[in-house]
Amino acid sequence: MSDQPRSDKATGDEVRLLGLVIEATSADMDVSDVVQRVANLVTEATGSDVCFVHLVDEARGCVVLAGATPPFDEQIGHVELRVGQGIAGWVALHAEAAVVPDKWQDSRYRYIPALRGEDYASMVSVPMLIPRGRRVVGVLNVHSKEHRDYGPYDLALLAQVANLMARAIENARLYQRLAEREEMLESFAIRTIEAQEHERRRLAGEIHDGISQRLISLWYHLLAAEDGAASADAVVVTRELVVAKELVTAALDDARGAIVGLRPTTLDDLGLGPSLESLARSLPVRDVSVDLQTVSLPPHVEVALYRIAQEAFQNVVKHAGATRVELSLRRDDEGVRLVVADDGRGFAEDSAGGGANRHAYGLLGIQERAELIGARVTVRSRPERGTTVEVLLPDPTGPHRHPASGSSAAASDRATP
């Protein structure tokens, strides 16, 4: 390389080198591979004898040998200089190139036995700069055995290579950081789900035990009340019924806790259909009819449908005064359809959602749960004509013939069960 006007060949070499550097720095490889490949390319293309690439370790305030042409590649990771120390350290500190025709005459030079400085006469050292903030990420050095005057052409070429490398290294580091963060987020998500599952199972167990205990106590207090009634002891009957009422209230509180977000263990034990059937059969209603198909649904959809049915049944118990309840879960040509219908007292449209009762969350909750799983809810009711809650989970592959207007929480006049 020289400072003279360049021949076509020199220009061709330059273009070839930059092409190879771009290729090396664009490939999907890690920083050390990029550095090593570029060191080899630069040595060859600049007609130098050896090339060293030092990377800046900002945290430790030093430059570390990260790439070198053989035989010095064995020293990678073992040679380091403080920022400001030696020529590479000086370049890292000042973000400026250093052209050194005779390093023994240069006060900045520092002899490193492992790099056999005695074998090389001249060198040039350029910073690898990130344009924004002129941050130095490394230093690129080429050395020649013979005395040589590296000129502006060499400097310009090396500066271009160094800057390409700087960007590649920065990108590789950013990519690595991103990959680490993504991995961290992924493991965080997995741990969160595991923790949630663990917590849900633990709570479900606790609540189950809590409710069971209360029901057992309730049983004994009712027996005692029965005995009191048999012996016409009104004091005993009253006392036992008071305790029984308290137990029922406490059990209901426990049950509410269980309803909030916990997966019912019955779903794991029995599956959706039988769990719904067991809910329906426990209703204090004379005539319960059940029509269930086995449908295969994701666990979160099962939980949502179970909770929806549970709330619909609670409403039957609390409000309907029904003599007949129908439960059906079937897949038809529109999707999976869950229906809970009663023949009770029903309600008028303006009382839907609780009417004046601002603390009524049941129908709203049904609506929200349905939305979360992409299902549509229709509530049909008329005073003294019963109530029907219908949830349609559209088949993602099937025709969607269900009218969009059917998604409102209550449509009291549209139909009767």
Ligand X SMILES: Nc1ncnc2c1ncn2[C@@H]1O[C@H](COP(=O)(O)OP(=O)(O)OP(=O)(O)O)[C@@H](O)[C@H]1O
Number of helices (H), then strands (E), belonging to the chain: the values are 9, 11
Residue 320 interacting entry, from ligand X, Mg ion, none, C-beta within 5 to 8 Å by type: ligand X
The yes or no reply on residue 360 touching ligand X (CB under 6 A) is: yes
Sites for ligand X among residues 45-104 (CB under 6 A): none
Q: Which of 212, 361, 374, 405 binds ligand X (CB under 6 A)?
A: 361
Among positions 351, 407, 408, 416, the unique one binding ligand X when judged by CB under 6 A: 351
Residue 326 is given by DSSP the state E
- The residues in 258-317 that bind ligand X, with binding defined as CB under 6 A, are 315-316
32 interacts with, out of Mg ion, ligand X, none, CB within 5 to 8 A per kind: none
Residue (56 or 339) nearer to ligand X, CB? 339
Least CB distance to ligand X at residue 222 (A): 25
**Residues in binding contact with ligand X, number by CB under 6 A:** 21
Binds ligand X (CB under 6 A): choice among 165, 362, 367, 378: 362
Assess 346 for contact with ligand X (CB under 6 A): yes
Q: Name every residue whose Cβ is closer than 8 Å to that of residue 284 and which is 6 or more positions away in sequence.
A: 317
Would you list the DSSP string of 80-137? EEETTSHHHHHHHHHT--EEES-GGG-TT----GGGTGGG--EEEEEEEEETGGGEEE
Task: Kindly state the tokens that stand for 239.
Answer: 């006392």
75, 80, 85, 89: CA torsion to nearest 10: 80
Interaction between residue 362 and Mg ion (CB under 5 A) = yes
- The CA distance from 50 to 108, in Å, is 19
Q: Please answer whether residues 88 and 125 qualify as being in contact, where contact means their C-beta atoms are separated by less than 8 angstroms.
A: yes
List the x/- string, 379-408, binding to ligand X by CB under 6 A. --------x---------------------
Nearest-approach distance from CB 360 to Mg ion, in angstroms: 6
Q: Which of 275, 315, 367, 387 binds Mg ion (CB under 5 A)?
A: 315
Is 381 a residue that touches Mg ion (CB under 5 A)? Answer: no
Q: How far is the CB of 357 from Mg ion (least distance, A)?
A: 9
Q: Which stretch binds ligand X (CB under 6 A): 88-96, 194-202, 213-221, 360-368?
A: 360-368
Residue nearest to ligand X according to CB distances in the complex: 362
CB 362 within 8 A of CB 341: no
Residue 344 touches which member of ligand X, Mg ion, none, C-beta under 5-8 Å by kind: ligand X
Angle at 259 between CA 257 and CA 264, to 5 degrees: 115
316-335 binders of ligand X (CB under 6 A): 316, 318-320
Do the Cβ atoms of 111 and 165 come closer than 8 Å?
no
DSSP state of 146: S
**30-61 in b/e burial notation, b at 16+ Cβ within 10 A?**
ebeebbbbbbbbbbebbebbbbbbbbbeeeee
Select from 217, 219, 239 the least CA-distant residue to 228.
Answer: 239
Contacted entry of Mg ion, ligand X, none for residue 357, CB cut-off 5 to 8 Å set by kind: ligand X
Please report whether residue 417 would count as binding ligand X according to CB under 6 A. no
* Partner in contact with 319, chosen from ligand X, Mg ion, none, beta carbon below 5 to 8 Å by kind: ligand X
Regarding 67 and contact with Mg ion (CB under 5 A), the answer is no
Q: Using the rule CB under 6 A, is 210 a contact of ligand X?
A: no
335 near Mg ion (CB under 5 A): no
DSSP 316: I
Between CA 351 and CA 374, with CA 258 as vertex, the angle to 5 degrees is 60
Residue 157, C-beta contacts closer than 8 angstroms, at least 6 positions apart: 1, 14, 17, 45, 46
Of 342, 367, 369, 378, which one interacts with ligand X (CB under 6 A)?
Answer: 342
Contact footprint for Mg ion (CB under 5 A)? 315, 362
Binding stretches for ligand X (CB under 6 A)? 315-316, 318-320, 342, 344-347, 351-354, 357, 359-363, 387
